[in-house]
Amino acid sequence: MKDNVIVSIIIRTKNEERWITEVLKLVFKQEFKDFEVIIVDNNSTDKTIAKAEKFDVKIVTIDQYLPGKALNIGIRAAKGNYIVCLSAHCLPVNEKWLGNLVNNFTSKDIAGVYGRQLPMTFSSAADKRDLLIAFGLDKKVQVNDSFFHNANSIIRRDLWEETPFDESLTNIEDRVWAKKMIEQGYKLVYEPEAGVYHYHGIHQDGDAQRCAGVVKILEDHDSLSLDDTKQLQRIHESHVSAFIPIQGEPQYLANRPLIEYTIEHAFQSQFIKDVFVLTDNYKVKKIVEKMGAVVPYLREKNKEQSLDQVLQEALVKIETKNIFPDIITVMWETFPFRESAYIDKLITEFMNRGVDSVISVKPIFESCWQEKQSNQYIRLDSGNVPREKRKKFFVGIEGLGYVTYPDCIRSGNVYGEQIGIVEVHNPISCLKVKESQDFPLAEQIAQEWFVKKKVSITI
């Protein structure tokens, strides 16, 4: 940490492992370099602190969270003449964000500056509407209006010394402080050129259909939310790991170890940074390590474990080695006919939708039945109606690929609460090769798929 800085950036955290690495990467890319970062953490139980410690930051811990109190504690540990308040899940739009905040202090009557907040692609319609309306394109100086927002703001340290944030409030500590500044004759500045992407809105209610209509009008008139290029950059800068669980002796297809095909698929992805094979077999270990994959440990043979437990155990082993993936793609060796383009589609959909996980599914239109009790069945589909009018059902093909967060794996609920699906329409990609009866057909397909490349691909 620097001894003397102009700006101190305060980031309050509570279980923000999904965001903190990306936020800090963007903060440390700023063109304005004279700053320090203070993390005020409220007893995070995930890997927030471990990830933050990879950066040059000071960490302060608190036991009870009140927004104003947390900020005050962080500021007391800070050295800067100006204090930036940044949400732990706000992503600076570009490298000029910090400089554009600082440059507004051109006169002594400016107390604070707050920047623009733009929605993420997966923000709800209500949140998009609120952010796009509240944070416009025109810069303004507020003489009477005390609106202020500490998700993305900067204030003067000397004024904070005289008027710290109210430590008794459960929210809107920013607006209460700003009102006091206005009453003392100071001004506030809204700076649209100091933008951040923020998936939360500033209100949590409203008619969903009406919200969607408002958002469409706003987005039609201006490209305001995270565009495809920046979203792609987000994925490239994330640490995406592939986990491939496998048990027992190596199997072979078309004169090659079956596991090699899935490892190739992982390495062909433009997003996956490293590939971890979770095996209990030394022969498999030798095969995959020659291809550049990593075996973090040899699983205990014949140990009764669910797949969720295997993934949990592997994640703990990897994180113990100070490796912290941001995103994990799980693939099984039993699907040799997938393509790397499909894996990248899964990862992209995962990031774009803002869900906890994305899984591979196959749509089915045939009749579906469920056993209610012994010899009694109920029909689940729409009945004998034209195909285009039938309700669509989906069968999960998890082994083809699914994407999730480390905290979901760590919790034992690998899919989390919010699940997205990506449909697979190519029946060959869905072919599972595991049992002995699966291999004759797979060998025939392999001659075309791997050698002559005549099998068409539909993703």
Task: Select the more confidently predicted residue: 218 or 296.
Answer: 296
Asked whether the beta carbons of 189 and 121 are under 8 A apart, the reply is no
Task: Select the more confidently predicted residue: 292 or 235.
Answer: 292
Task: Select the more confidently predicted residue: 203 or 179.
Answer: 179
Report, as an integer, the average pLDDT of 195-214: 63
CA 161, 167, 171, 175 dihedral sign is negative
Report, as an integer, the average pLDDT of 186-199: 94
CB atoms within 10 A of CB 77: 16
pLDDT digit string, tens, across residues 246-275: 999 999 999 999 999 999 999 999 999 999
3-class secondary structure, 401: coil
DSSP 231-269: HHHHHHHS-EEEEEE--SS--EETTEEHHHHHHHHHHH-
For the cut 80, the answer to whether the pLDDT of residue 455 exceeds it is no
For the cut 60, the answer to whether the pLDDT of residue 211 exceeds it is no
pLDDT digit string, tens, across residues 310-340: 999 999 999 999 999 999 999 999 999 997 6
> What does the alpha-carbon distance between residue 215 and residue 225 come to, in Å, rounded to a whole number?
11
Report, as an integer, the average pLDDT of 215-236: 61
> What does the alpha-carbon distance between residue 254 and residue 439 come to, in Å, rounded to a whole number?
10
Asked whether the beta carbons of 219 and 336 are under 8 A apart, the reply is no
For the cut 70, the answer to whether the pLDDT of residue 223 exceeds it is no
According to DSSP, the residues that pair with 6 across neighbouring strands are none
What's domain 7-223's architecture? Alpha-Beta Complex (3.90)
> What does the alpha-carbon distance between residue 123 and residue 129 come to, in Å, rounded to a whole number?
10
Looking at residue 124, its pLDDT comes to 78
pLDDT-derived band of residue 234, with 50, 70 and 90 as boundaries? confident
> What does the alpha-carbon distance between residue 193 and residue 32 come to, in Å, rounded to a whole number?
14
Beta-strand pair 82-87/7-13: parallel
Q: 154: which 2 tokens? A: 């900067």
Report, as an integer, the average pLDDT of 235-245: 93
pLDDT-derived band of residue 225, with 50, 70 and 90 as boundaries? low
What average pLDDT is seen over the chain?
A: 89
Task: Select the more confidently predicted residue: 4 or 167.
Answer: 167
Looking at residue 104, its pLDDT comes to 97
| Percentage of the chain lying above the pLDDT 90 cut | 70
pLDDT-derived band of residue 459, with 50, 70 and 90 as boundaries? very low
pLDDT digit string, tens, across residues 105-132: 999 999 999 999 998 888 878 888 888 8
DSSP 273-293: EEEEEE-S-HHHHHHHHHTT-
Report, as an integer, the average pLDDT of 61-84: 95
- The reply to whether domains 7-223 and 235-452 share a CATH topology is yes
Spatial neighbors of 231 by CB under 8 A, at least 6 apart, are 121, 351, 352
pLDDT-derived band of residue 454, with 50, 70 and 90 as boundaries? very low
- The full set of domain ranges for the chain reads 7-223, 235-452
pLDDT digit string, tens, across residues 24-49: 999 999 999 999 999 999 999 999 99
CATH number of 235-452: 3.90.550.10
CA distances from 177 to 8, 187, 189 (A): 18, 12, 14
Looking at residue 372, its pLDDT comes to 83
For the cut 80, the answer to whether the pLDDT of residue 137 exceeds it is yes
Spatial neighbors of 51 by CB under 8 A, at least 6 apart, are 17, 20, 21, 324
Looking at residue 25, its pLDDT comes to 96
pLDDT-derived band of residue 390, with 50, 70 and 90 as boundaries? confident
